[in-house]
Amino acid sequence: MPIDLDELKRAREEADCLADDATVETALDRMAGEITARLADRNPLVYAVMNGGLIFAGRILPRLPFPLEVAYLHATRYGHAVQGTLLDWRVRPTQDLRGRTVLVLDDILDEGHTLQAIIEHLRQEGAADVLSAVLVHKVHERKAYPGMRADFSGLDIADRFLFGCGMDYKGYWRNAPGIYAVKGL
């Protein structure tokens, strides 16, 4: 099925801006301070989760003024199951994790099943400590477990269909500078 570029443009034009770029920048600065305070002396290995974490990683990493190692991983849950932690690895972690402090960067914590499974996998591979950072914490009660939050969160955003800053609409608009909600969703 061909992509309707006019529909994609219309979705962006009609979307509700929930956080403009200045708001995102402020959240990134705050998060960078929190991450620096906690990890500056720990030689962390930082994993960006593809594809959503790419934009977030590119915006937060230059704000972290300490030595760190950067890598990426790409995993989805088999069949997008609601429960279970079986991951379909597109790109597995390649670094030796034994004894390392690991920070996982992702765009959003929605229900959190995949992020939880990634964190569990990294711990099983021997990481001493695994922390998570997300730009957006989506506010609802459908988390993988009650009260689930990332260790570092940028913005709490309403439970809507979001795009921008790494989140996509039909595979597009990850590059939108703010955080938007599809009109009516």
**pLDDT, tens only, 135-150:** 999 999 999 899 999 9
Domains in the chain, please, with CATH? 5-181 (3.40.50.2020)
State the average pLDDT over residues 167-182: 95
| Cβ atoms within 10 Å, residue 119 | 20
What are the structure tokens assigned to 28, written together? 């990134």
Confidence of residue 87 (pLDDT cuts 50, 70, 90): confident
Nearest to 108 by CA among 164, 147, 64, 69: 164
Question: What pTM was estimated for this model as a whole?
Answer: 0.91
Give the span between the Cα atoms of 95 and 100, in whole angstroms.
10
Segment of 67-71, 80-84, 85-89 carrying the highest mean pLDDT: 67-71
For 170-181, letters b (16+ CB in 10 Å) and e give eeebbebbbbbb
State the average pLDDT over residues 105-111: 95
What are the structure tokens assigned to 13, written together? 């034009």
